[in-house]
Amino acid sequence: MAERAGAVLRAGSPSALSGYLKAVGAVIWKDLTSELRSRELLGSMLVFALLVILIFNFALELDIRTRQSVTSGVLWVTFAFAGTLGLNRSMAVERERGCLDGLLLAPVDRSALFFGKALGNLLFMLIVAAIILPVYSLLYNANLFLPALAGVIVLGSIGYATVGTLFSAMAVQARTRDILLPILLFPVVLPLLIAAVRATDSILLAIPLAEIRGWFNLLIVYDLLFIAVAIMTFDFVVEE
């Protein structure tokens, strides 16, 4: 019995890091595989994002002049709303059939679970952005294919997915679940959204990058700070 266990289990841990990364990878793989099959999460995020853009179109009368000044706002509001939808769904999956316990039973550090979930959420947000941007460009004849803009979206999404994953893990354990996440999340990610909107705006107005470096710095500082907070506190959110 013991020998068999030894044969199956990796002897000792020759490389703790590779086991850690393997666990992170396994969580991402699991989320992607089931998502590619059901398309529940990405599907609802995308449809919702398109609807938001359409509503903005009529609510703001996006003619050429106003469009230029509100594009960045419309885009980020869309990402943020679609993002909460995805975050809620991604954590709700772990609640079904007790899967969160299953994750917690695995002999890996809890931060590996956090990174797995957060990276999965980040990936979903980026996929939505990658689809929404060309659609927006097409609908409103605006060129959004700018490398700097991609940078802003990645930095913004990292912070959003980090804080969002941490808070959604709390929200799913509360009675008020789905409605709780945006209330917890929005006031905390406000600086991130301000920075992202302003940076996007400046990029679309073709302001030289040197002048908007401040916004990039702010995004980076926010991302790093909250990644640190999330790693330190995730244990307390999932234990009992």
C-beta of 53 vs 204, nearer to another protein: 204
Cβ at position 85, least distance to another protein in Å: 17
User: Which of 106, 130, 139, 224 lies at the binding interface for another protein (CB under 8 A)?
Assistant: 106
Cα torsion for 232, 234, 239, 240, to the nearest 10°? 90
Residue 202 interacting with another protein (CB under 8 A): yes
Residue 41 parent element (H or E): helix 40-60
Residue 49 interacting with another protein (CB under 8 A): no
Residues near 166 by Cβ (< 8 Å), separated by ≥ 6? 114, 226, 229, 230, 233, 234, 237
Residue 208 interacting with another protein (CB under 8 A): no
- Asked if 222 contacts 195 with a C-beta cutoff of 8 angstroms, the reply is yes
Cβ at position 129, least distance to another protein in Å: 21
- Asked if 62 contacts 70 with a C-beta cutoff of 8 angstroms, the reply is yes
User: Which of 47, 51, 138, 207 lies at the binding interface for another protein (CB under 8 A)?
Assistant: 207
Distance (Å, whole) CA 143 – CA 68: 11
C-beta of 132 vs 192, nearer to another protein: 192
Residue 209 interacting with another protein (CB under 8 A): no
C-beta of 136 vs 226, nearer to another protein: 226
User: Which of 45, 52, 87, 103 lies at the binding interface for another protein (CB under 8 A)?
Assistant: 103
DSSP class of residue 10 equals P
Residues near 82 by Cβ (< 8 Å), separated by ≥ 6? 45, 46, 48, 49, 52, 125, 128
C-beta of 119 vs 132, nearer to another protein: 119
Output phi, psi for 143, to 5 deg: -85, 110
Residue 38 interacting with another protein (CB under 8 A): yes
Single out the residue of 205, 215, 102 nearest to residue 152, CA to CA: 215
Distance (Å, whole) CA 70 – CA 201: 8
C-beta of 53 vs 118, nearer to another protein: 118
Q: Which of residues 12-31 bind another protein (CB under 8 A)?
A: 13, 19, 22-23, 25-27, 29-30
Q: Which of residues 158-187 bind another protein (CB under 8 A)?
A: 163, 166-167, 170-171, 173-177, 180, 183-184, 187
Residue 151 interacting with another protein (CB under 8 A): no
Residue 59 interacting with another protein (CB under 8 A): no
Distance (Å, whole) CA 29 – CA 190: 31
Kindly indicate which of the ranges 52-60, 73-81, 83-91, 96-104 contains the residues binding another protein, using the contact rule CB under 8 A: 96-104
